[in-house]
Amino acid sequence: MKRFLTLLSMCLPLAAGAAGGENTVSVETAGSQMVLYVHQNGEVSFYHYGARFDNPDQILGYKSYRRWDYGTEPPAYPARGGRHFNQSALAVKYQDGNINTELAYTGHTVSRLSDDVARTVVKLRDAVTSLEVSLFYDAYYEEDVIVSHAEITNAGTGPVLLESYASSGIVLDAREYLLTHFHGAWAREMQVESELLTHGIKSIRSIKGVRTTHTENPSFMLSLDTDTFSEESGDVIAGALAWSGNYSMDFQVDETNRLSVISGVCPDGAAYRLDKGMTLQTPEMIYTYSGSGAGQASRNLHAWARKHCLYNSSSVAPTLLNNWEGTYFKFNEEILKGIVDDAASMGLEMFVMDDGWFGGTDYPRNASTQGLGDWQVDPAKLPHGVGAIADYAHSKGLKFGIWIEPEMVSPDSHLAKEHPDWIVREDGREVTTIRSQWLLDLCNPEVQDFVFGVFDSTMQLADGIDYVKWDCNRHVESAGSSYLKDNSSFWFDYTQGLYSVYRRIREKYPDVIVQSCASGGGRMDYGALHYCNEAWTSDNTEAVSRVFIQYGTNLIYPAIVCGSHVSAVPNHQTGNVTPLKFRFDVACSGRLGMELQPSDMTGSEKDFARKAIESYKGYRDLVCYGDLYRLGNPYSDDCYALMYVSPDKSRAVVFAYTLKFMGRTRRPLFRLSGLDGGKSYRITELNVEKSCFWGHGKVFTGSYLKGHGINPNMEKVYSSAVFYLEAEHID
């Protein structure tokens, strides 16, 4: 910290650097450094992101030996035009039809946002058109995270068209680049795929408008100089875009073998008109660098997210019972009260009433075919209103949560008939439905008021609504807004509209816990999580699938945001049958909940649930705030384990799962890499009569547990174990 303060005071006063000479701009964190190079002619190149080498001026005079006819050195923010011919972050068409932009340095500033966050702003300008770009780099010193975005200002004389306007670009130089990214679908989110990049452009993107994180996620990891993904060694750069709309992340390996990564709003069909004097602020792109593998990259992102990004990460969502898979749309007051009783008796802390409670008398929500938009209680199901259920839950000591899907409207609803102009559509084309619903046009401020109003009025339905599950069950098709003059700004404006509603909600309801759900994990991004406390990781609640989904999700997002529920067997999504203990042991590695009809459980199942929930409460702080160490990889290991360790390494919890039968002769071996070798730990297996590990109850040194490891007897497929470790002195 001391060195950081010295460094800052060296950079201050605010106006550092000026046009006219060769110069470097260095953005530093405890273990990483990003260096930009200002050339004599004002071009700003991106010269380094990775390990810290301190004095950036060592790089002054650097030569890449690029031939003059091979374009510019890699720009910090490549604009289309001039001598630049690789992919661009910015592409502008001017009023006179011209298409070139050449950005040159006009100065940079460094300021302190807080004790451990410094902001560097690099200012660029096109001399011919007066277009200005400010590049922001916020350095989070302790977490080794740099958050970057661009602001584009039209200081010219007429409107301009931004044909692309990415948030940020980085350039890396390595022998080879292993890209790890996340693909999937509904009920199969965050599947991990790694590939060595070849020359050309690889793009990961979504143009679905909303529910953008099912098929890809706006995040990645890059392992440098290797073809192998490693948890513990090598240079890794991870990135995530804080944006809930269309995005693209483009990876170009060029003829110099350098990799340029450009991330931001997807420009496809999204040209943005910027009027004279206006500034467009792009979403934030989050980067971290680790010199010791992917594990540290994840821990950096998690620590940064908890401290600087997530909405109120100091409060964890309570353990809960959600009635969706237990009842679907078929419930009434009596059924819900019975569920509340069971939830309370098992020690859960909240009841969440899911879809099906609204639609009034005309369009009661008895199926997904109607009722969205009519947010009045269905009196047939809840004759005494939502308040009766909320009060009942409270009387049993539980908090109360409720489901809404305020961006949507069913064709069969009063809202659809009263406000056809609020529906996303283009005149003359069919308005397609997905799950029998249309999307409301959040570009329109009247719709923003309505959506805010849905949240606001829902909050008035009962005293003490503690939690809102905000769902979003379709994406955009045939984009169009009757409010906008030019639909190419639809994509950007929709997400801005959503965020403006979120902001209003947070002003009025700072304490309510909001879950970001979009048919499961369709809105798992750091943009939404800035306003929502947690996310619904997937509609797939089946435990084996969840091991993979949560593994992928936690490469980028911390466990505190991952709603993770125990459901019934055979699982409703996959048909798979796993033991209750396995289901609990998987769910307990995230934010624990249950999602089933508890009256279908046997007495002994409830007893087990009670025990597992109680023990979870004892180590939940580790899951939510501890450092994650992955002890292997479920894609390659038959048995997979992960552990969370307290920051002072005095406590830890290990979750282990047998995913495949390994035969009679092999047993898993887990080296508990997150421990402190100098401490001694007592290891206790939780929630079992008889432990599967011979060392249960014994004390071992951290160096033994890290170096030799543990070999629990987890032969049978779907066997699982939870070990709790606490440091103590050997007596």
Q: What type of residue is 390?
A: A
Contact 165, 150 (CB under 8 A): yes
- Our CB check for ligand GLA shows the closer of 226 and 515 to be 515
Task: Tell me whether strands 350-353 and 399-404 are parallel, antiparallel or unpaired.
Answer: parallel
One residue of 73, 116, 284, 471 binding ligand GLA per CB under 6 A: 471
**Encoded tokens for 28:** 């530093």
> Which candidate, 504, 465, 448, places its Cα nearest to that of 357?
465
Query: How many other CB atoms are there within 10 angstroms of residue 197's CB atom?
Result: 18
- What is the total residue count of the chain? 731
- Least Cβ distance, residue 306 to ligand GLA (angstroms): 24
Q: In whole angstroms, how close is the CB of 415 to ligand GLA at the nearest point?
A: 17
Q: Which is nearer to ligand GLA, 28 or 189 (CB)?
A: 189
Q: Binders of ligand GLA among 348-367, rule CB under 6 A?
A: 354-355
CB of 155 to ligand GLA, least distance (A): 45
**397: which 2 tokens?**
């000591």
The tokens for 418 are 């009263």
CA–CA–CA angle 183, 491, 262 (5° rounding): 55
Q: Minimum CB separation from ligand GLA for residue 595, in Å?
A: 8
At residue 181's C-alpha, the angle toward residues 176 and 184, to 5°, is: 150
- Which residues, 535 to 574, sit near ligand GLA by CB under 6 A? 536, 539
Q: How far is the CB of 473 from ligand GLA (least distance, A)?
A: 5
How deeply is 429 buried, as exposed, middle or buried, from its count of CB atoms within 10 A (0-12, 13-18, 19+)?
exposed
Q: Is the peptide bond before 570 cis (omega within 30 degrees of 0)?
A: yes
**Contact flags string 392-431 toward ligand GLA, x per CB under 6 A:** -----------x----------------------------
Is residue 249 within 8 Å of residue 205, measured between CB atoms?
yes
Q: Which stretch binds ligand GLA (CB under 6 A): 290-298, 419-427, 512-520, 561-569?
A: 512-520
Q: Which is nearer to ligand GLA, 43 or 471 (CB)?
A: 471
| Least Cβ distance, residue 150 to ligand GLA (angstroms) | 34
Taking the least distance from each CB to ligand GLA, the nearer of 324 and 467 is: 324
CB of 370 to ligand GLA, least distance (A): 12
- State the binding string over 579-608 for ligand GLA (x if CB under 6 A, else -): ------------------------------
Q: How far is the CB of 186 from ligand GLA (least distance, A)?
A: 8
Which span sits near ligand GLA by CB under 6 A: 70-78, 89-97, 151-159, 517-525?
A: 517-525
> Residue 494: phi, psi to the nearest 5?
-60, -50
Q: Which is nearer to ligand GLA, 180 or 473 (CB)?
A: 473
Written as six digits, the tokens of 628 are: 């994650």
Nearer to ligand GLA, 111 or 368 (CB): 368
Show the 3-state SS of 79-133: ECECCECCCCCEEEEECCCCCCCCEEEEEEEEEEEECCEEEEEEEEEECCCCEEE
Q: Map residue 353 onto helix, strand or coil.
A: strand
Closest separation between CB of residue 469 and ligand GLA, Å? Answer: 6
121, 146, 178, 517: residue in contact with ligand GLA (rule CB under 6 A): 517
Q: Does 467 engage in binding with ligand GLA (CB under 6 A)? A: no
Closest distance of CB 472 from ligand GLA, Å:
9
CB of 405 to ligand GLA, least distance (A): 7
Nearest to 218 by CA among 249, 260, 195, 189: 249
Residues β-bridged to residue 570: none
Helical (H) or strand (E) element with 456: helix 445-459
Comparing every residue's Cβ against ligand GLA, the nearest one is 355
**Contact range with ligand GLA by CB under 6 A, out of 4-12, 107-115, 443-451, 516-524:** 516-524
Q: How many helices (H) and strands (E) does the chain have?
A: 12, 37
Q: Which is nearer to ligand GLA, 541 or 658 (CB)?
A: 541
| Cβ distance to ligand GLA smaller for residue 43 or 355 | 355
Nearest-Å Rg of the Cα atoms of the chain is: 27
In 524-652, which residue ranges form alpha helices assigned H by DSSP?
Answer: 543-556, 580-587, 603-625
Least distance to ligand GLA, CB of residue 355, Å? 3
Q: Which of 125, 129, 134, 126 is nearest to 152 (CA)?
A: 134
Instruction: Give the residue with the Cβ less far from ligand GLA, 324 or 640.
Output: 324
Under rule CB under 6 A, residue 28 binds ligand GLA: no
Among 120, 154, 437, 519, binds ligand GLA (CB under 6 A): 519
Yes or no: say if 137 and 148 are a contact pair by the CB < 8 Å rule.
yes
Which pairing describes strands 117-126 and 131-140: parallel, antiparallel, or unpaired?
antiparallel
CB nearer ligand GLA, residue 290 or residue 537: 537
**The one segment of 40-48, 336-344, 513-521, 711-719 that binds ligand GLA by CB under 6 A:** 513-521
Tokens 């009809």, located at residue: 597
User: Catalytic residue positions?
Assistant: 471, 539
Is-cis flag, bond preceding 598, omega within 30? no
**Distance, CA of 419 to CA of 441 (rounded, Å):** 11
Binding part of the chain for ligand GLA, among 21-29, 256-264, 515-523, 719-727 by CB under 6 A, reads 515-523
Out of 520, 590, 626, 632, point to the residue binding ligand GLA (CB under 6 A). 520
Nearer to ligand GLA, 355 or 585 (CB): 355
Torsion of CA 718, 671, 689, 625, to 10 degrees: -90
d(CA 442, CA 244): 13
What tokens appear for 693 in the block? Answer: 């590990």
Kindly tell me which of 473 and 684 has the beta carbon lying closer to ligand GLA. 473
Q: Is 473 in the site for ligand GLA (CB under 6 A)?
A: yes
Contact string 313-332 vs ligand GLA (x = CB under 6 A)? -----------x--------
Using DSSP's 3-state secondary structure scheme, residue 397 falls into: coil
The residue among 353, 350, 332, 355 whose CA lies nearest residue 394 is: 350
Q: Please report, as ranges, the residues that interact with ligand GLA according to CB under 6 A.
A: 324, 354-355, 368, 403, 471, 473, 517, 519-520, 536, 539
